Structure 1
Amino acid sequence: MKKIYIAGPDVFEQNSIEIGKKLVKMCKKYGYEGLYPLDNVVDFSQSKHKTAQDIFDANIAMIQKADIVIANLNPFRGKEPDSGTVFECGFAYGLKKEVYGYLSHTCNYLDSFNEDEKFAKEGYFCDDKKRLIEDFDYPLNLMLSCSTKILEGDFETVLKFLKGKE
């Protein structure tokens, strides 16, 4: 049975344990073993840095065990996905794992900016801080979009896609 590492900012939700159980159960329904980061057992009585290192090490070990990573790449605390999730995708890609992501909407990244958040400059668009806005007709930065198969929908959308590939 292939193992799926479940990446995303869902671990920061108030009901993160229930979310994880639901996603792991959904993996099983489609014939996969789900690996959810909060399934790791960590000692929170130690220093914050030691606890953080233990969480990091446990999640890295889970990704190494996984065959596939499915990541929630929806915006988190801004326009971009959770930075930890992005790291996990890049790490998995480097290990030659299959990496999939899902977004509620897969519009062009440029289109995610409101008209008052961008302005044209010499044939390009810039944000309000005069930084170029990437426009490669991808929903996210090219490094993530070129390394990850991104689907519009939710976690189950990716599971259905994977089953259709078999």
Structure 2
Amino acid sequence: MARVYLAGPEVFRPDAAAEGERLRTICAGHGLSAIYPLDGGSAEDHALGIRARCILGLRAADAVVANISPFRGAHMDPGTAWEIGFAQARGLPVFLWSCDPRPMAERIPAADGDGTPRDADGHLIEDFGQPENLMIAPPGTPVHASPEAAIAAAAHHIELAGKLRIGLLPKILIALAAAWAAGMLAQLFFRH
């Protein structure tokens, strides 16, 4: 069964364990095994233990479903951003969702100025039409409206990838057999 790491600030909720179980049930309904950051611990654990547990979960995952909803401000949870980067560096597919899909340029109040979107401190507001920084949600990357939709997309992707691998196996075996046969024929012709 494919394993999906559930990244997001849900671990800080008062009902973190219950929310983890709800997400786990959604994953199971799609034939996925969920890895939740609180598995084997709690949010109150020692910092290095939490970090190590999350890294182990990411290493065991086949994909990541990440909540990039604004958290404690206009942007997503920084720990989730780190987990997304770790997953992408490992080549894992990442499926994003946000309860606020508005582009950042609409979500961050712009100060009056020369028409260039800038925040109250004068910093440029990224305007690529995505709800988060382009390193998290590059243009064209789907950002789903709910964890249910992101989990369904992950399940669909994993299913297609599995079919592709299974479909490639006979082709690989045929290619190996053809290469072996060509080698045998070459030996016969070049011996004489």
TM bucket by the smaller chain?
Answer: 0.7 to 0.9
- Structure 1 residue 144 displacement after superposition: 0.6
Equivalence for 2:5: 5
Q: Whose strand proportion is higher, 1 or 2? A: 1
Q: Is the 8 A contact 2:65 2:150 kept in 1?
A: yes
SS in 1 for 2:135: helix
Equivalence for 2:70: 75
Residues 39-89 of structure 1: per-residue CA shift (max 9 Å, x gap): 1237x7xxx8xx211110111011010011101111110111101011100
Equivalence for 1:139: 131
- Structure 1 residue 119 displacement after superposition: 2.7
The two structures, once aligned, show a CA RMSD in angstroms of 2.0
Equivalence for 1:124: 116
Of stretches 30-39 and 118-127 in structure 1, the one that deviates more from structure 2 is 118-127
- Structure 1 residue 38 displacement after superposition: 0.7
TM-score, structure 2 length as denominator? 0.75
Count matched residues. 157
Equivalence for 2:37: 37
Distance 2:11 2:100 in 1: 21
SS in 2 for 1:125: coil
Given the superposition, is the C-alpha separation of residues 148 and 26 from structure 1 closer, same or farther in structure 2, using an over 3 Å criterion? farther
Residue type of the alignment partner of 1:145: A
Equivalence for 2:93: 98
Residue type of the alignment partner of 2:74: K
Residue type of the alignment partner of 2:10: D
Given the superposition, is the C-alpha separation of residues 5 and 163 from structure 1 closer, same or farther in structure 2, using an over 3 Å criterion? closer
Unmatched runs of 5 consecutive residues or more in structure 1: none
% same residue = 30
SS in 2 for 1:93: helix
SS in 2 for 1:127: coil
- Structure 1 residue 94 displacement after superposition: 0.6
Equivalence for 1:19: 19
Equivalence for 1:152: 144
Larger Rg, first or second structure (1 or 2): 2
Unmatched runs of 5 consecutive residues or more in structure 2: 161-192
Matched, 1:88 2:83: yes
Q: Is the 8 A contact 1:5 1:63 kept in 2?
A: yes
Q: Is the 8 A contact 1:5 1:36 kept in 2?
A: yes
Distance 1:123 1:9 in 2: 34
Q: Which has the higher contact order (CA 8 A, sep 6+)?
A: 1
TM-score, structure 1 length as denominator? 0.86
